[in-house]
Amino acid sequence: MTKKSTSRGFIKDIIIVVIAIAVIFVSLQVVFGFGSNPFYVVASGSMIPELLIDDIIVVQGNIPFEEIEIGDIIVFNRPSDHNKVIVHRVVTILGDDPKTIRTKGDANSGSIPGTDFPITEEEYLGKTVAKIPQVGWFLKFIQPPVNYILIAIVIGIIIVKQMTKKKSEKEFTLYDPLDSEDQENNEEIADIDKIQKDSEYSTHTEKSKMADDGKNESEEPVKDDDKSSRENKKE
């Protein structure tokens, strides 16, 4: 396999990985909502024991605010200043026009004004639908989209290494046995004449050669001197 074909294969694998990552990213956006971050790391203990610090929560942003009910765990911007993201449980529906709710952390003694209420659709980011326990410690220092890029790179490297490994196991080298650069193979070819002949085949060949030589001698034409001596004898 030439270097050119190997390079083409590597580029093809990279393109496949990039496409796969793009498909995964778009799929996440379709499932969890375009423009929303589907993953958050729990940074406080206000939801213990339901959510622990460094848990990753999966948030579905395309669930309408109107469908949120008491008991749901939601993610929202703090209503007082919108500079902090909160994840708490809904405990009360304060009003329906517009819909306004109040939340509370499971570990807190009560709702905190300006943090847990009043929450409207403007503050709402999404509903928590799943959690991944204790794996968010290495992501909480990295903000989107850097964390997605790093995850994609790691996955891509793993996939490419696996593909390369499988290909290397199947690859073999083609070479010209008469190529002067391959000294070892040339020496092996040169040594073919030194291989001991098969005794039966050699004997048969030598006998055939001797028979052919005898036949040629018997058919040799009579020389003029021999012909003259024979005529003299007849006279």
* pLDDT value at residue 124: 95
pTM value is 0.51
The region of weakest confidence among 15-24, 35-44, 60-69, 86-95 is 15-24
* pLDDT value at residue 77: 95
Residue 137 has pLDDT above 80, yes or no: no
What angle do helix axes 146-170 and 3-32 make, rounded to 10 degrees? 140
**Which of 10-14, 91-95, 173-177 has the highest average model confidence (pLDDT)?**
91-95
Q: How confident is the model at residue 112 (pLDDT cuts 50, 70, 90)?
A: very high
Q: How confident is the model at residue 154 (pLDDT cuts 50, 70, 90)?
A: confident
The region of weakest confidence among 14-28, 38-52, 176-190 is 176-190
Higher-scoring residue by pLDDT: 140, 77: 77
Higher-scoring residue by pLDDT: 157, 98: 98
* pLDDT value at residue 49: 94
Q: How confident is the model at residue 224 (pLDDT cuts 50, 70, 90)?
A: low
Residue 87 has pLDDT above 90, yes or no: yes
127 burial level (CB within 10 Å; 0-12, 13-18, 19+): buried
* pLDDT value at residue 196: 54
* Residue 178: partners with Cβ closer than 8 Å, 6 or more residues away: 186, 189
* pLDDT value at residue 200: 52
**Which of 101-110, 161-170, 177-186 has the highest average model confidence (pLDDT)?**
101-110
* pLDDT value at residue 67: 94
* pLDDT value at residue 52: 94
* pLDDT value at residue 163: 72
Give the closest residue to 192 by CA, choosing from 206, 205, 178.
178
